[in-house]
Chain A
Amino acid sequence: MLMISPRMASAMQEKQYTPSLLSFFIYNPTFGPREGEEEKKILFYHPSDIEKNEKIRNVGLCEAIVQFTRTFCPTKPAKSLHTQKNRQFFFEPEDNFWIVMVVRNPMIEKPNKDGKPPTIEYQEEEILDTVYGAVVRQCYSMYKLFNGTFGRAMEAGGVELLTQKLEKFFYRYLQTLHLQSCDLLDVFGGISFFPLDKMTYLKIQSFVNRVEESLSLIKYTAFLYNDQLIWSGLEQDDMRILYKYLTTSLFPRHSEPELAGRDSPLRPEVAGNLLHYGRFLTGPTNLKDPEAKFRFPKIFVTAEDGYEELHLIVYKAMSAAACFMISASVELTRDFCEQLDGLVGPQLTLLASDICEQFTINRRISGPEKEPQFKFIYFNHMNLAEKSTIHMRKTASVCLTSVHPDLMKILGDINCDFARVDEDEEIIVKAMTDYWVVGKKSDQRELYVILNQKNANLIEVNGMSPPPDDE
């Protein structure tokens, strides 16, 4: 299948506006079925300063659309509504609970002569349903990770508690949504795995097993290096969202002081004079502090019978991070934290330098890193392995890409095409400005390659597509 991308020509002196969040609200139609009680349906509304009647009107509209479209296909309710100025995304994560996100379409402001007000052109086709649909689902997953389901809050404290929780969580979380930089990677929600040789991997296994054996409170362990996953004792779906939290929120928050060399002093341990770099990223910042609080964030993961509430201890030494998860019913004490620090600190420090060494050796063997001729995104649905040479290192605030947004859009379009059929497929697109985009889907894997080669023809492009390894 060959398509020619029509866009990429852009006029000068125009002002471009990226997609942005207009509103975000959560409602349950069963909470206020009678007239005059509509406000009760609304559990959360952002922005909060909107006038009550407008909130009710917007919620009512969504409700109506969902109800109306249900008549056409009862099993698949409406997912989004496209309008000229914005796009609305609907998601029903739990029975009768609806999350709606309204995104303003990107627009171009064209200056007019003669002092007339500028013309605004909405680019309603520029944003992808798959990307923002995924963003909404991610919002819910993240809420669920830290709070459990909506239903759980309802059982525990009714609507009052639920609204409190939603307020508390989304107030902060929505500020971290950067809709303008959402792309294909959000659709995948993948996990980047750290490439590692077998022996070092086995050493990590050994470390995890030993820690879990001697600190038997620990139920699950995850191990990351350089923000990439190496081992997860959690199930895949839980790890997926935890990974998202760690890499986009927790680690970036702690990376700056590390880079500056502060906050990570080599601590001479009293006993045995063991030096190690280990420290807690969650919980107490300084164990020696007599005022230190031993409170850790709690997370919810799937268990055999519904949900399981866990303390999340994230402990880091150099680039190696270990997440230990302990049943929330246990109270964590100073004693335990000191024990963990004493046991894990030295071992993790040693492992971190082992991994680093091994990594450097491997890189030396594979030769100096050349600027590759192409950029790619790889994703394997089966193990959620994701790899991208398009994206720069994620920071807390933005996710930078090294290619033009138009190309990212093409990738997203190809992905939508892939999603429609089960068969293996290959799509080659010639974009403007000499770019070729190749998308390939084989069984559970998807690979997207962007080539920037002048005068390359279709046959040449077809010839090159090396599938990278999962790691």
Chain B
Amino acid sequence: MTEPPQQHYLELSENPVQFEHASSVNNVFFDEANKQVFAVRSGGATGVVVKGPDDKSSVAFRMDDKGEVKCIKFSIGNKILAVQRTSKSVDFINFIPDYPHTEFSQECKTKNANVLGFCWTNWNEIVFITDQGIEFYQVFPDKRSLKLLKNQSINVNWYQYCPETAVILLSTTVQGNILQPFAFRNGTMSKMSKFEIELPVIPKPAKLSLSERDIAMATIYGQLYVMYLKHHSRTANSPSAEVVLYHLPREGACKKSHVLKLNTTGKFALNIVDNLVVVHHQSSQTSLIFDINLKEPDCAVNTHQPVLPARSIHPYRMPLAGPAVVPSQPPVPCQLYSSSWSVFQPDIIISASEGYLWYLQVKLHPTVNLLQDKGKLMDFLLRRRDCKMVILSVCSQILEGGVKGSLPVVATVFDKLNQVYKEYLEAEQSYTVAMESGPSRGSAAQKRPVRTQAVIDQSDMYTHVLSSFTERKEVSHKFVIAVLMEYIRSLNQHQITVQHYLYELVIKTLVQHNLFYMLHQFLQYHVLSDSKPLACLLLSLESTYPPAHQLSLDMLKRLSTANDEIVEVLLSKQQVLGALRFIRSVGGHDNVSARKFLDAARQTGDQMLFYTVFRSFQQRNQRLRGSPAFNPGENKPRIWFIFQMKPTIGGLKI
């Protein structure tokens, strides 16, 4: 291989749909709505083989040869087959079991009109597009008849259909550059506002100037766009071709919204993959990708340059024709960007002459080295579908590169990740709140937010990036701490609660390098937020760093839910009076068990101390129960005995 493989960021799907290639006896059709390829042999008499994206949608059948097939499509769910053989009518065959299988036909209503084609908008709803307008029918398979639901007269040059949104776009007027969209939904047809495509040159005299080939419809980031491939023209001052995107909202006017600069001329084809606009350039055999949501600081608003340098699709090898081939025969390279390729929206490439249908795919790993600006790379990756592992590997790469001055880059990357993370957390939060407040309020049922791969949370970061990074010997601890602090800063800046294991990682790193004073300062400014586990961790550091004791106690005190723990810690340090004072100050004196205090006091061997503690509890008992006696369960006679004995022993000593 001449080129390093990681250079190709586009590839053809590994398991293409294979069909019998087009020939003089075999006509091939493609239905964009069901993504089915029809191989029609001899007008259907010797068989029609339908191959869909999966086996379920693949069908084979025969039909009578009633003339050359111009167009053939199943309704949604393979219920009814529609075949156009003449320019006046469309024939239908039921594929619903138990329904009569005899063909029935429907002529277009408009006199002298030619049917340009048809589109299924539902399992039983179909639209005929004629050169004089559109006709919207409902099909009754049981009655073998159609009912006209609605029609509209308009001169049509050509049409395009976007099955995802059920929008038909008609090219009207002499020049063809006034586009009229119609939207279909559940038996209704609505006319959307028409718009004009700006032509590079106005021809004189007027003639059809906007070709069907230069227009495509697709949904990008959930919005419907009409893409216009604007070729360069010598007369207008456009040195190279560009793709102009018109945003087509459900309601309201269509607006020119984005311009993609191709910086070259020639023959192009468009695909949409993972919300990226892919522009194939035939003469250079390369493709460009554009992300319309990626802001370009150097360009005017909404003018985009390619995200990455032009690269060809990853070389593809296919086994020699047909399944009957000898297994040992090596696969042959497929000719990419062949003139026999047909490109369909959103991501389909068909080679009719070879009998292949591929889905175009974006590979994210190769993009990592092609995009030097890591901030931009993150913006790009965060919008892709399968981005998680790539993003995490980019993070590791940045951290392990050890390039000087990478901290600002690290900060930018963290901020971008946490922005997405925070948005998800907020959506989740508001969903929870909405659910708790009940369905009564907020009539529109709120959908649970979808967690996309772009949501990189703290545990992802910890598991895949930070824990292994902090283990690396060759990275200076200064840099490790700086990175961890940067991540904590970024989380804080986005008001995300930092997980305990990140603090633990910071503490571990600091302790390993004896940077106790740094740790101390972080705690002093509450950078490491208070928690019981953290306090316990500090307590365990006391033997190596004595002040950790105070830090830990302070933290427990601030938590205000850890009074028992504080008493235990103080008693374990034989600070019995301190423990007693503390429990009094928080009002827990009345309920506390006297025994552990007395035990601790006894262990000190200080008789005065024991006496003081003992008296203190006696007084408490007096106050609570009117008697200095202890409750039987609370105080074992053993302690009584010891106390009784002690003064005597002490007295003897003196």
Closest chain-B Cβ to A340's Cβ sits at a distance in Å of 14
State A34–B492 Cα separation when bound (angstroms). Answer: 69
Partner of B578, one of A230, A232, A424: A424
Complex contact A202–B547 (CB within 8 A): no
Interface membership of A235, Cβ < 8 A: yes
Contacts A210-B408, A213-B404 given; does A205 touch B520 at CB 8 Å: no
Contacts A214-B405, A382-B547 given; does A199 touch B493 at CB 8 Å: yes
Residues of chain A within 8 A of B478, CB atoms compared = 209, 212
Residues of chain B within 8 A of A444, CB atoms compared = 547, 550
Residues of chain A within 8 A of B411, CB atoms compared = 206, 210
State A470–B525 Cα separation when bound (angstroms). Answer: 9
Complex contact B527–A382 (CB within 8 A): no
Residues of chain A within 8 A of B488, CB atoms compared = 202
Complex contact B526–A205 (CB within 8 A): no
State A382–B521 Cα separation when bound (angstroms). Answer: 11
Partner of B550, one of A205, A210, A214, A382: A382
State A25–B553 Cα separation when bound (angstroms). Answer: 45
Closest chain-A Cβ to B509's Cβ sits at a distance in Å of 14
State A193–B492 Cα separation when bound (angstroms). Answer: 22
Closest chain-A Cβ to B484's Cβ sits at a distance in Å of 10
Partner of A383, one of B405, B407, B547: B547
Interface membership of A198, Cβ < 8 A: yes
Complex contact B521–A198 (CB within 8 A): no
Residues of chain B within 8 A of A199, CB atoms compared = 489, 492-493
Partner of B489, one of A203, A236, A442: A203
Interface membership of B524, Cβ < 8 A: yes
Interface membership of A294, Cβ < 8 A: no
Complex contact A232–B485 (CB within 8 A): no
Complex contact A231–B489 (CB within 8 A): no
Interface membership of A216, Cβ < 8 A: yes
Q: Tally inter-chain residue pairs, CB-CB below 8 A.
A: 79
Complex contact A383–B525 (CB within 8 A): no
Residues of chain A within 8 A of B486, CB atoms compared = 206, 209
Contact pattern, B 476-494, Cβ under 8 Å of A = 1, otherwise 0: 0011011001101100110
Interface membership of A201, Cβ < 8 A: yes
Closest chain-B Cβ to A195's Cβ sits at a distance in Å of 9
Q: Which of A204-253 contact B (CB under 8 A)?
A: 205-206, 209-210, 212-214, 216, 230-233, 235-236
Task: Give the residue name and chain of the B residue nearest to A385 (CB).
Answer: B524
Complex contact B479–A193 (CB within 8 A): no
Closest chain-A Cβ to B116's Cβ sits at a distance in Å of 60
Residues of chain A within 8 A of B547, CB atoms compared = 382-383, 444
Residues of chain A within 8 A of B406, CB atoms compared = 213
Complex contact A443–B525 (CB within 8 A): no
Complex contact A209–B485 (CB within 8 A): yes
Complex contact B526–A198 (CB within 8 A): yes
Partner of A231, one of B479, B493, B521: B521
Residues of chain A within 8 A of B221, CB atoms compared = none
Range for the number of chain B residues in contact with chain A:
20 to 34
Interface membership of B577, Cβ < 8 A: yes
Complex contact A383–B524 (CB within 8 A): yes
State A382–B407 Cα separation when bound (angstroms). Answer: 32
State A218–B496 Cα separation when bound (angstroms). Answer: 32
Complex contact B517–A202 (CB within 8 A): no
Complex contact A216–B492 (CB within 8 A): no
Residues of chain B within 8 A of A443, CB atoms compared = 550, 553, 578
Complex contact B492–A202 (CB within 8 A): yes
State A281–B575 Cα separation when bound (angstroms). Answer: 48
Contacts A205-B485, A213-B482, A444-B550 given; does A193 touch B407 at CB 8 Å: no
Contact pattern, A 370-404, Cβ under 8 Å of B = 1, otherwise 0: 00000000001011010000000000000000000
Interface membership of A196, Cβ < 8 A: yes
Residues of chain A within 8 A of B492, CB atoms compared = 198-199, 202
Complex contact B517–A214 (CB within 8 A): no
Complex contact B524–A202 (CB within 8 A): no
Task: Give the residue name and chain of the B residue nearest to A443 (CB).
Answer: B550
Interface membership of A471, Cβ < 8 A: yes
Residues of chain B within 8 A of A380, CB atoms compared = 550
Contacts A199-B493, A206-B411, A206-B485 given; does A213 touch B479 at CB 8 Å: yes
Closest chain-B Cβ to A342's Cβ sits at a distance in Å of 14
Residues of chain A within 8 A of B485, CB atoms compared = 202, 205-206, 209
Q: Which of B488-520 contact A (CB under 8 A)?
A: 488-489, 492-493, 517-518, 520
State A205–B478 Cα separation when bound (angstroms). Answer: 12
Residues of chain B within 8 A of A235, CB atoms compared = 517
Residues of chain A within 8 A of B479, CB atoms compared = 213
Task: Give the residue name and chain of the A residue nearest to B554 (CB).
Answer: A470
Closest chain-B Cβ to A438's Cβ sits at a distance in Å of 16
Closest chain-B Cβ to A383's Cβ sits at a distance in Å of 6
Task: Give the residue name and chain of the B residue nearest to A426 (CB).
Answer: B581
Contact pattern, A 52-78, Cβ under 8 Å of B = 1, otherwise 0: 000000000000000000000000000
Closest chain-A Cβ to B78's Cβ sits at a distance in Å of 59
Task: Give the residue name and chain of the B residue nearest to A229 (CB).
Answer: B521
Contacts A198-B526, A202-B527 given; does A209 touch B550 at CB 8 Å: no
Contacts A202-B488, A202-B492, A424-B578 given; does A214 touch B404 at CB 8 Å: yes
Residues of chain B within 8 A of A205, CB atoms compared = 485, 489, 527
Complex contact A206–B404 (CB within 8 A): no
Residues of chain A within 8 A of B493, CB atoms compared = 199, 202
Closest chain-A Cβ to B399's Cβ sits at a distance in Å of 13
Residues of chain B within 8 A of A423, CB atoms compared = 577
Closest chain-A Cβ to B394's Cβ sits at a distance in Å of 19
Complex contact A213–B405 (CB within 8 A): yes
Task: Give the residue name and chain of the A residue nearest to B406 (CB).
Answer: A213
Task: Give the residue name and chain of the B residue nearest to A424 (CB).
Answer: B578
Complex contact A232–B407 (CB within 8 A): no
Residues of chain B within 8 A of A424, CB atoms compared = 575, 577-578, 581
Complex contact B521–A196 (CB within 8 A): no
Partner of A232, one of B404, B405, B517, B581: B517
Complex contact B404–A209 (CB within 8 A): no
State A424–B553 Cα separation when bound (angstroms). Answer: 15
Complex contact B489–A202 (CB within 8 A): yes
State A205–B510 Cα separation when bound (angstroms). Answer: 15
State A152–B552 Cα separation when bound (angstroms). Answer: 40
State A232–B522 Cα separation when bound (angstroms). Answer: 11
Task: Give the residue name and chain of the B residue nearest to A470 (CB).
Answer: B524
Best-buried of A196, A230, A236 by chain B (most CB within 10 Å): A236
Complex contact A213–B407 (CB within 8 A): yes
Partner of A201, one of B525, B551, B581: B525
Contacts A209-B485, A382-B550 given; does A216 touch B525 at CB 8 Å: no
Contact pattern, B 446-489, Cβ under 8 Å of A = 1, otherwise 0: 00000000000000000000000000000000110110011011
**Besides A201-B527, A443-B550, 8 other CB < 8 A contacts?**
A198-B526, A199-B489, A205-B527, A212-B482, A214-B407, A380-B550, A424-B578, A471-B525
Q: What are 14 A-B contacts with C-beta separation under 8 Å?
A: A193-B524, A198-B526, A199-B493, A202-B488, A202-B489, A202-B492, A205-B489, A213-B404, A213-B407, A214-B405, A214-B407, A216-B404, A443-B578, A444-B550
